[in-house]
Amino acid sequence: MIKIILKYLIIYLFLLKPAFAERVNVFDFTKEELQTLEVRKVRGADNKTEYIPGSNENGNYLKAVADNAASGLGKQIKVNLNKTPFINITWKVEKDLNGIIENSKKGHDYAARVFVIKKTGATALSNRAINYVFSSNEEIGKNWPSPYTKKSIDNVLSTTKNNINEWVTVKANVKEDFKKFHNLDVDELDGVAIMADTDNSKKKSISYYQNIFFSKD
């Protein structure tokens, strides 16, 4: 009898295995991971954004403080968009950047943003990106090319006009967005990055990131 139970338990766990593969975690948000991430300071910025790991009842998070600063944290990761096309982001903006014009060079700052990146050439300048942003001024669903490069599209998933100092969970179909914004059929992503930046507006923002992962639906 015990052997029969064990047999069916093994079969059950085997059947569950594909379900676990339908979620791809991107960041752990630990002190150890923070040391391994690629740090990219924006050219011309006076300071780097400060990233501080922490935790709450929902797990680890990363606090980002940008005081006239701009730098991001990147991770090279392969994500199969045919299996897990949806990016899921839980984030919060405690102090926003109200009053700036985000689709202009002088106001192109965000308290929180998550880049998804596809390599399309030999250099970083040839990459295509979608920049999912927590806007301080625009409505959800608005989008525009970055004023610095048309190869990166800003797409508003959250706004402090609706949620300020509150955790928000959002989702986007990355595969469909690459087709929509770049007219590219993308099967696999090459990297994900987060950034809080205030170098253009010279302001200060405070934000938090938690539970960034890809899923089947």
**Window from 11-15, 44-48, 125-129, 213-217 with minimum mean pLDDT:** 11-15
User: What is the reported pLDDT for 203?
Assistant: 97
Rounded alpha-carbon distances, angstroms, from residue 159 to 93, 165, 192:
9, 11, 21
All domains of the chain in start order, with CATH: 24-215 (2.60.120.260)
Q: Residue 23 pLDDT > 90, yes or no? A: yes
User: What is the reported pLDDT for 180?
Assistant: 98
Helix, strand or coil, per DSSP, at residue 124: helix
User: What is the reported pLDDT for 121?
Assistant: 77
Q: Do 42 and 193 touch, CB atoms closer than 8 A?
A: no
Q: Residue 76 pLDDT > 80, yes or no? A: yes
User: What is the reported pLDDT for 124?
Assistant: 67
Chain segment 90-100, per-residue pLDDT in tens = 999 999 999 99
User: What is the reported pLDDT for 1?
Assistant: 46
Chain segment 102-157, per-residue pLDDT in tens = 999 999 999 999 999 999 876 666 799 999 999 999 999 999 999 999 999 999 99
Q: Which residue has the higher pLDDT, 16 or 40?
A: 40
Q: Which of 65, 52, 51 is nearest to 93 (CA)?
A: 65
**How many other CB atoms are there within 10 angstroms of residue 30's CB atom?**
13
User: What is the reported pLDDT for 43?
Assistant: 83
The rounded mean pLDDT for the chain is 90
Beta strands in 30-85 (DSSP E): 38-41, 50-56, 59-67, 70-80
Q: Which of 129, 107, 134, 104 is nearest to 118 (CA)?
A: 129
13 pLDDT band, cuts 50/70/90, is very low
User: What is the reported pLDDT for 46?
Assistant: 86
Distance CA 54, CA 41 (A): 22
Is pTM, for the whole model, over 0.95? no
User: What is the reported pLDDT for 35?
Assistant: 94
User: What is the reported pLDDT for 45?
Assistant: 85
Mean pLDDT computed over 192-211: 97
Distance CA 67, CA 174 (A): 30
Distance CA 193, CA 176 (A): 19
Q: Which of 40, 42, 75, 26 is nearest to 191 (CA)?
A: 75
